[in-house]
Amino acid sequence: MADAWKEAMELAEKTARRAGEVVCAALQVERSVMTKSCSVDLVTQTDQQVEQLIIQSVRDKFPMHRFIGEESVAAGEPCVLSDEPTWIIDPIDGTTNFVHAFPFVAISIGFSVNKQMEFGVVFSCLEDKMYTARRGGGAFCNGERLQVSSQEDIQQAMVCTEFGSSRDPEVVEKIFCSLRAVLSIPTHGVRGAGTAAINMCLVASGCVEAYYEIGIHVWDIAAGALLVTEAGGVLMDVQGGPVDLMSRRVLAANSPALAERLLQEIHSFCPIRDDAA
């Protein structure tokens, strides 16, 4: 049977590549940095320019499709996931990395229909790695099939997480409590690429066994979520149960057993949901 979203996925990949060129070029010149929710929540003109580029390219081909874009939401657009075909876009995942030229930045494009992810594209543009996943069709990096790690012993595992952009002392305390607990299991180590999308691709690639974060947004994880499940991994909420992409909490792991073990160490909290009115 023909793939109903083949053309859309090809467009996502092509547009992510074009966006990557813009991001790489912008790294060669000075970046003007602005702030959003707080002094460490950064945005640049490139984030805004790239989001417009992606939205315009999609609109030209699919004028009826909807969008949830990080910078559009910041500018006041609603963040609502309906049953309609919806493109969920993070023009630069890892904006802080981008500002500092720390070499992990990604263009993340997820596509959902009936609230189900159909495909995900994450382009790690400085590494020139194009990660793609199609629901039921597997996950790939530069055309090579991905498979999560088979390591189920938490003591042999490496885990990704991030500190996020909240500096609220209570939030920082919980993040450090979780970090201490996860390190002290003991695990082999804890890492963070500075971008949720790439962290999820690292789970899908089998380089790390798990990634968890509280405080991310739907645009950070929509595409990566499909990469993880299509590579054989699982997604959960940090308190257990199914993940809710709007809840700003995610645990991605290679297996249910390892995810359940990590859940015991995570000090959870509830940020304001992405779809809160």
The stretch among 56-64, 91-99, 126-134, 177-185 that binds ligand LIP (CB under 6 A) is 91-99
Number of residues that bind ligand LIP (CB under 6 A): 15
What is the spatial order of strands in the sheet that 249-253 belongs to? Answer: 189-191, 158-161, 210-214, 249-253, 234-236
92 is catalytic: yes
CA distance 128 to 148: 21
Residue 158 half-sphere exposure, CB side, CA atoms within 13 Å?
Answer: 14
Q: Decide: is 215 part of the binding site for ligand LIP (CB under 6 A).
A: yes
Of all residues in the shown chain, the one whose CB is closest to ligand LIP is 162
95 is catalytic: yes
Q: Annotated binding site for Mg(2+): which residue ranges?
A: 70, 90, 92-93, 220
Q: Decide: is 86 part of the binding site for ligand LIP (CB under 6 A).
A: no
Is 93 or 265 the residue whose CB approaches ligand LIP more closely? 93
Is 107 or 113 the residue whose CB approaches ligand LIP more closely? 107
Q: Which of 124, 132, 165, 178 binds ligand LIP (CB under 6 A)?
A: 165
Nearest distance in Å: CB 43, ligand LIP: 8
- The region, left, alpha or beta by phi > 0 then psi within -120 to 50, assigned to residue 263 is alpha
Chain-centroid distance of CA 103 in Å reads 16
- In the set 47, 51, 90, 230, the catalytic residue is 90
- Residue 226 has a CB neighbour count (10 Å cut-off) of 30
Q: Decide: is 95 part of the binding site for ligand LIP (CB under 6 A).
A: yes
90 is catalytic: yes
Nearest distance in Å: CB 164, ligand LIP: 4
* Beta-strand pair 42-44/106-113: unpaired
> Measured on CA atoms in the order 13, 195, 170, 242, is the torsion positive or negative?
positive
Nearest distance in Å: CB 186, ligand LIP: 24
Cβ contacts of 256-264, under 8 Å, gap ≥ 24: 257/152, 258/151, 258/152, 258/154, 258/157, 258/209, 258/210, 259/210, 259/234, 261/154, 261/185, 262/154, 262/159, 262/182, 262/210, 262/212, 263/236, 263/238, 263/239
Q: Which of 124, 195, 229, 255 binds ligand LIP (CB under 6 A)?
A: 195
Cis ω before 271 (30° cut-off from 0)? no
Q: Annotated binding site: which residue ranges?
A: 70, 90, 92-93, 220
What is the rounded end-to-end Cα distance, in angstroms, of the chain? 40
Is 118 or 213 the residue whose CB approaches ligand LIP more closely? 213
Is 141 or 218 the residue whose CB approaches ligand LIP more closely? 218
Token pair recorded at residue 106: 């990604």
Residues 216 to 245 in contact with ligand LIP, rule: CB under 6 A: 216-217, 220
Is 216 or 222 the residue whose CB approaches ligand LIP more closely? 216
**Which residues are known catalytic residues?**
70, 90, 92-93, 95, 220
Residues forming contacts to ligand LIP in the complex (CB under 6 A) are 70, 90, 93-95, 162, 164-165, 195-196, 213, 215-217, 220
